[in-house]
Structure 1
Amino acid sequence: MPSTPNDHPEAGPATTIPRRRLVAVTVAATHPPRRGKQHRAAALLHRLSDQWDVESHSLTIQRTDLPLPRRSRRVTPRWTDHRLCDPLLVLWVSLLARFGYGPAYIDRILDMLPRRRLRRALAAADAVWVSVPDHYLWVRRATPARIPTALDEDCIAAQLYPAREDAPLTQRIAAEIDRVEGAALTVADLVLVTDDEDALASRRRGAGVIACVPNGVDLVRFRPAGEDERRQARAALGLGDDLCVGVFVGSGHGPNVRAVDVLLGQVAAYARAGVHLVVAGRCGLGRRSVPGLTVLGEVPDVVPVLHAADVALCPLLDGGGTSIKTIEYLAAGLPVVSTPVGVRGLDLDAGTEVEVCAVEEMPSRTAELAADAPRRASLASAGRAVAERRFSWDASADALSAALAAMVDSGRRTPPTVLFVGSSAELYGADLCLERLVLAHRAAGGRALVALPDDGPLAARLVAAGVPVEVLPLAVLRRRLLNPLGAAQVAGALLGSRLRLARLARREGVELVHSNSAAVLSGAAVAGAIGVPHVWHLREYLTADRRALRVLAAVLERRATQVAAVSGPVRDALLRLRPALANRTTVVHDGVDPDRFAALPDRAAGARRLGLDPRRPTVGVLARLNAWKGQEVLVDALARLGPAAAAVQLVLAGDIYPGDEPIGAALRRQVELAGLQDRVVFPGFVDPQDVLAVSDIIVSPSTRPEPFALAVVDALCAGRPVIASAHGGHLEQVRDGVDGLLVPPGDAGALAQALLRLLADAALRRRMAAAARGDRRRFSLDASLPAMWAIYGEALAGP
């Protein structure tokens, strides 16, 4: 079988890999194995224990464990197998198995209990191997970020569970299987497949690093039977030596059960051909033997059954991965008659190593083999040879060991699945930064989900970019809510959003929550509910003069795993209130695309859209109209300029938070009283490119410290000199005298003098514009993202 090339070409021979600790997490018990997936896990773990210290944890028990299941057993000197022995898990899997797929929704059951023993094992591992996608997301969340996790995608689970149109429950289960599997493939650090076809399917669904670990066979146990062994095996089954016996073995897995249905419908056709059918395994439970068909049910060992056969049958109609039973048939020296599904992914030579035909043709093909002993012998010999050559569990275990070791050595882990929680869905500075961060996280290979408080333009842009967005009432602090009635409203939103987001986060396998503002409390609540790290993006300047801000700082200390402060002054203000956060707070400037404003719209066109005269000098402000952005100080400064600057016009671009309408009305009255109504425009929220195109100077006159004014960064990137209040984030953004001027906060006179200086000196404006453009990449997204990814890594690494 041609192996899919490993995406870790640096992996060396397995024998040179130093002994490491591997934790395997499976649904069903691996020892003793009872079906294909457990046989694969048991065979590989048994051989891996020669190279690794192996600890396996099965989530359920099996019937052989009853009545008193053992919690642990030493399988080999280096492999210990554990059972969780959890009644809730056992009951759940048993119940869902009645609908064809027991592991469905199992991650939600795992979330309900602490699983301390398993968590301790995961924390001590060098690598983690998960047997099915259904609990992969839970295991990944429970595993420290430094430890890579591999998903064993030995078959595409979504192919194994057909949804019935007349059964809504099966449709829901099928949809859940498909969703969970897709999410697991996207975030897995390593995906293990058994054949090229599944490798391509996994790649199409978002898998990154893929390694091929084929299924195999125990070539000593499964071998051609001697004549005496054949005679004894037939006698034990009550079969005569003169019969031509066709055998099918299988577990109670859905495709095997459906294959038995096919055989039951073809008993007469096989009987006419002189072939007696034998069905062994749980696939035959509930079926009775009839003339021409012997149903053995579950047997302790299938090898004697194979020794009694003349032909092996594989009438599978559906399924995924590669069939272990077919490989065992080959190793046992039996000629095989199979459907295409039964030999899927094995790359066998039809006609030489196996007979392949449609299921309807299998009785006639089997009859032909029954009458042709030399042909049977030729197929049997070729099948045994290919099993010896290509399907050894030893070779597969070496491939797995090398892939796991390379995964550990690479020192990388797929970026986490992050739930981003925003405080608004507008397109102001914090909103645009959230959009950039979400898209950058996706581009880096991570999964992103976004929760927003309303269905605004940011939600539409994210959905258009393919990002899942959940719109729901979030607990967001606003000044108008700082009263008893507002507190009750926030508390209600906090409780409701905690419940809804916790369900979403568990379902999607969220590993980290990122709150985009200290004003949004729902992120902290959901992170605590599901037990994942919480990164709180601090975009607010917290001071001791307001009780609400002191309380918010205390909440940050308790509920933030890491804090990303948008500027040094923001960090310093927080640490003055909460010094204990020093080791958990990092400055990460908001990043922009520095070339976004390289080509601005035509000045005349922008002026027409804003209602301005393009020939007159223009001063622009890009900020909401609120109590501390300082627009009233700038209007006062403009009034002080007098006749010398009568031609100067001012554009105050920005809208008003609901509830802050009196602020806008007061500002308009101030403009009218100063007689500036013909020189000041209020266009509301507009494209900042128009404002930048028409403005000669951009002003940020905030009266309280600005955390980090994104409008200032945009202006500098566009080559516009900036006048800003000398406090807060402005001190890190504007270089006084180089690319702008700093003035005392709230000082209209000083602001007027700075305006006069720049308006009167075109050469100075040009020098400042050139300096701003020349150093525009200091606040680029490329400069800020590494710091944010490092914060994520610190948060996921734990204390």
Structure 2
Amino acid sequence: MPPSLHQVEVIAPHFKRRLSGVTSTIIQLVPVQNRLGQKVVTFGPGLPSFLPSMTAGDLLRLWAPPEGGRYRVWHARRNIEMLPGILLRDVCRMPLKLVFTSASQRKHSAWTKWLISRMDRVISVCRKTASYLERESTVILHGIDLQRFSSAPDKAAAKAQLGLDPQKHHVGCFGRVRHQKGTDLFVDAMIRLLPNHPQWTAVVAGRATPKYVPFEDELKARVNAAGLADRILFVGEHTNINEWYRGLDLFVAPQRWEGFGLTPLEAMASGIPVVAADVGAFAELIVDGETGRMVERGELASFASGIEPYLASPSLCIAHGTAAHAHVTEHFSVEREAKAIGAVYRALLDAR
């Protein structure tokens, strides 16, 4: 049962309608946080109706502290959400403590630096993100839903259910089809490698937004020119992406830039090793040589050399996939993430 407003201790604002990584984080975390007793509501558009939420009219009720407490936490994840928190606390004098989660891996503007300086606590999603901040932060790596992302009990059946050949091995790249995501690197690596590994098929799952349809069309033209249209499959966007992971034997994360990046965790939780570019938090998620391989960002030759040992030895996929599943299960559950965030909240709410 969602908390009533007089019980609420944490507000998670969301001020963009466009689906993003922040949206996915809130959707995944808030139900778990409430299950753990953290009493969180969301505020803003673009979120599903099943999440507990407050209205604009409820803002007037924030002058009163929560039942049994002195403060509430306003947990922002964007600039556009930090600023209202500052106004509510410092101008309206509401009893709020401000938390900001940073996922950015670039130098911050003077405006962003000022906003961050006004926060009571800052969380970084990985050590690389923390290195760009000019103040102390708590590093809390994202987790994932280990019930949704899990190993296939029968790999052949998982492939057949998706319309894939259960007698073949499959390597996949999932996410938006665009240059930033490195889809072209994956396709070019497959064009180079697949002719020497006839038992393998490549799968590109994800949507090309209108701006990037010409980019996708160009990739398909390269595939057709290489005579590999039946072995490099563009399957589009799917809501059952967890089932597509289970149909793979190897996953490739070729992003040129990433704030954090959940796809390697989702793949490893599904018992699949990952070959990933050194971007985002990937180096903090993958145990190089045990659960996958780290390769150079944007370098086709590095990707090809990282992928080929797995194509040459499916047994290596099984060994590293087993290790990957154990690694994620132990270290990257969403419950672990929620508990770590809850500890930040409690330090603020219990402070005297």
Please state how far the C-alpha of 1:587 moved relative to its aligned partner: 0.3
What pairs with 1:405-424 in structure 2 (closer than 5 Å)? Answer: 417-422=9-14
- For the Cα contact (< 8 Å) 2:15–2:81, is it kept in 1? no
Query: Would the aligned equivalents of 1:502 and 1:526 in 2 still touch at CA under 8 Å?
Result: no
Would the alpha carbon gap of residues 525 and 427 (structure 1) be closer, same or farther in structure 2, given more than 3 Å must change?
A: closer
Residue by residue, what CA displacement relative to the aligned partner does 1:179-232 show, whole Å, maximum 9, x if unpaired?
x9x644xx3xxxxxxxxxxxxxxxxxxxxxxxxxxxxxxxxxxxxxxxxxxxxx
For residues 630 and 790 of structure 1, the distance between their equivalents in structure 2, rounded to whole angstroms, comes to 36
The match for 1:513 is: 74
Q: 1:716 aligns with which of 268, 271, 283?
A: 268
Q: Which residue of 2 aligns with 1:563?
A: 122
Which residue of structure 2 lines up, in the alignment, with residue 149 of structure 1? none
1:613-672 CA-to-partner distances (Å, cap 9, x unmatched) read 33322112232334422111111111111521355333222335xxx5222431231221
Mark the CA change 1:749 to 1:629 in structure 2 (over 3 Å): closer, same or farther.
same
Q: 1:223 corresponds to which residue? A: none
- Listed one character per residue, the Cα deviations across residues 99-155 of structure 1 (whole Å, up to 9, x for unaligned) are xxxxxxxxxxxxxxxxxxxxxxxxxxxxxxxxxxxxxxxxxxxxxxxxxxxxxxxxx
- Contact residue 725 and residue 744 of structure 1 kept, 8 A: yes
Cα distance 1:444–1:690, how it changes in 2: closer, same or farther (>3 A)?
closer
* Aligned mate of 1:669, from 214, 218, 222: 218
Measure, in 2, the Cα distance between the counterparts of 1:552 and 1:539. 16
Q: Deviations over 1:469-493 (max 9, x none)?
A: 65xxxxxxxxxxxxxxxxxxxxxxx
Name the amino acid aligned to 2:235.
F
Write the distance in 1 (CA, Å) between the matches of 2:57 and 2:293. 48
Q: Is the 8 A contact 2:251 2:272 kept in 1?
A: yes
Structure with bigger gyration radius: 1
Deviations 1:76-112 (A, max 9, x none): xxxxxxxxxxxxxxxxxxxxxxxxxxxxxxxxxxxxx
Equivalents in 2 of 1:611, 1:662: separation in Å?
29
Question: Displacement, 1:739?
Answer: 0.6
Question: Gapped runs of 5+ residues in structure 2?
Answer: none
1:772 has 2:324 as partner: yes
* Structure 2 residue 344 is the aligned partner of structure 1 residue 791: yes
2:32 paired residue among 432, 440, 451: 440
One of 48, 53, 56 as aligned partner of 1:468:
53
Q: For 1:431 and 1:600, locate their aligned partners in 2 and report how far apart those are by CA, in whole Å.
A: 27
Hey, what's the Cα distance between the residues in 1 that align with 2:241 and 2:260?
17
Counterpart residue number, 2:293: 741
Q: Does residue 1:701 correspond to 2:254, yes or no?
A: yes
Q: Aligned to 2:315, what secondary structure does the other structure show?
A: helix
1:686 alignment counterpart: 239
Q: Is the 8 A contact 1:623 1:653 kept in 2?
A: yes
- CA deviation after TM superposition for structure 1 residue 604, in Å: 5.6
Identity of aligned residues (%): 23
What secondary structure sits across from 1:625 in the alignment? coil
User: CA–CA distance in 1 between the matches of 2:251 and 2:275?
Assistant: 6
| Residue ranges of structure 1 left out of the alignment (5+ in a row) | 1-179, 188-415, 471-498
Query: Once the two structures are superposed, what CA deviation does each residue of 1:356-412 show, in whole Å capped at 9, x if it has no partner?
Result: xxxxxxxxxxxxxxxxxxxxxxxxxxxxxxxxxxxxxxxxxxxxxxxxxxxxxxxxx
Q: Tell me the TM-score normalised to structure 2 length.
A: 0.82
Residue in 2 that maps onto 1:453: 45
- Per the alignment, residue 525 of structure 1 pairs with 84
Kindly tell me: are residues 502 and 527 of structure 1, through their superposed partners in 2, closer, same or farther at Cα, counting changes over 3 Å?
A: farther
Compute the displacement of 1:440 (Å): 2.8
- After superposing on structure 2, the runs of 4+ consecutive aligned residues of structure 1 that deviate more than 6 Å are 425-428
1:278-677 superposed matches below 5 A:
417-422=9-14, 430-454=22-46, 458-462=47-51, 467-468=52-53, 502-503=59-60, 505=62, 511-515=72-76, 517-518=77-78, 521-530=80-89, 531=94, 532-541=96-105, 543-544=106-107, 549-551=108-110, 553-572=112-131, 574-575=132-133, 579=134, 581-582=135-136, 585-598=137-150, 600=152, 603=155, 606-607=158-159, 610-646=162-198, 648-656=200-208, 661-675=210-224, 676-677=228-229
Between the two structures, name the one with larger relative contact order (CA 8 Å, sep ≥ 6): 2
Code of the residue aligned with 2:102 in structure 1: it is: L
Once residues 621 and 536 of structure 1 are traced to their aligned partners in structure 2, the CA distance between those partners, rounded to angstroms, is: 31
Task: Tell me the distance in 2 between the aligned counterparts of 1:423 and 1:183.
Answer: 20
Alignment partners' CA distance in 2, 1:672 and 1:643: 17
1:555 Cα shift?
4.2
Q: Is the 2:151–2:325 contact (alpha carbons within 8 Å) kept by the matching residues of 1?
A: no
Question: Shift of residue 421 of structure 1?
Answer: 1.8
Quick one: distance in 1 between partners of 2:335 and 2:201? 36
Are the equivalent residues in 2 in contact too, given 1:536–1:563 (CA < 8 A)?
A: yes
Kindly indicate whether the alpha-carbon contact (under 8 Å) linking 1:671 and 1:680 is maintained by their aligned counterparts in 2.
Answer: no
| Cα displacement (A) at 1:424 | 5.7
Secondary structure at 2:48's aligned position in 1?
helix
* AA in 1 matched with 2:237: G
Task: Tell me by how many angstroms 1:756 deviates.
Answer: 1.5
Letter paired with 1:691 = W
Q: CA separation in 2, counterparts of 1:616 and 1:448?
A: 46
Q: Distance in 2 between matches of 1:504 and 1:642?
A: 61
Q: Match for 1:513: what amino acid?
A: W
Larger proportion of helix: 1
Per-residue CA deviation, residues 20-41 of structure 1 (Å, 9 max, x unaligned), is xxxxxxxxxxxxxxxxxxxxxx
Quick one: structure 1 residues 664 and 556, their matched pair in 2 at CA, closer, same or farther if it must change by over 3 Å? farther
CA shift at 1:591, angstroms? 2.0
CA RMSD, 1 decimal: 3.1
Aligned to 1:746, the other structure's residue is in SS state: coil
The 5 Å alignment of 1:41-60 reads none
Q: Is the 8 A contact 1:183 1:508 kept in 2?
A: no
- Aligned pair partner of 1:761 in 284, 296, 313: 313
- Flag the 1:642–1:615 CA change in 2: closer, same or farther, 3 A: closer
Give the 3 Å change call, closer, same or farther, for CA 632–452 of structure 1 in structure 2.
Answer: farther
In 2, distance between residues paired with 1:766 and 1:774? 12
Does the 8 Å CA contact 1:597/1:689 hold for their aligned counterparts? yes
Relative to 1, partners in 2 of residues 1:790 and 1:720: Cα closer, same or farther, differing over 3 Å? same
Distance change (3 Å), C-alpha of 1:615 and 1:673: same
Supply the AA of the counterpart residue of 1:587. V
> C-alpha displacement at 1:697, in angstroms?
0.6
Task: Return the letter of the residue paired with 1:538.
Answer: S
The CA deviation at 1:596 is 3.8
Corresponding residue for residue 483 of structure 1: none
Q: Is the 8 A contact 2:151 2:246 kept in 1?
A: no
Letter in 2 for 1:420: A
- Identify the match of residue 303 of structure 2 among 719, 728, 751: 751
Kept in 2, the 8 Å contact 1:594–1:777? The answer is no
What code does the residue aligned with 2:124 have? A
Hey, what's the Cα distance between the residues in 2 that align with 1:631 and 1:688? 17
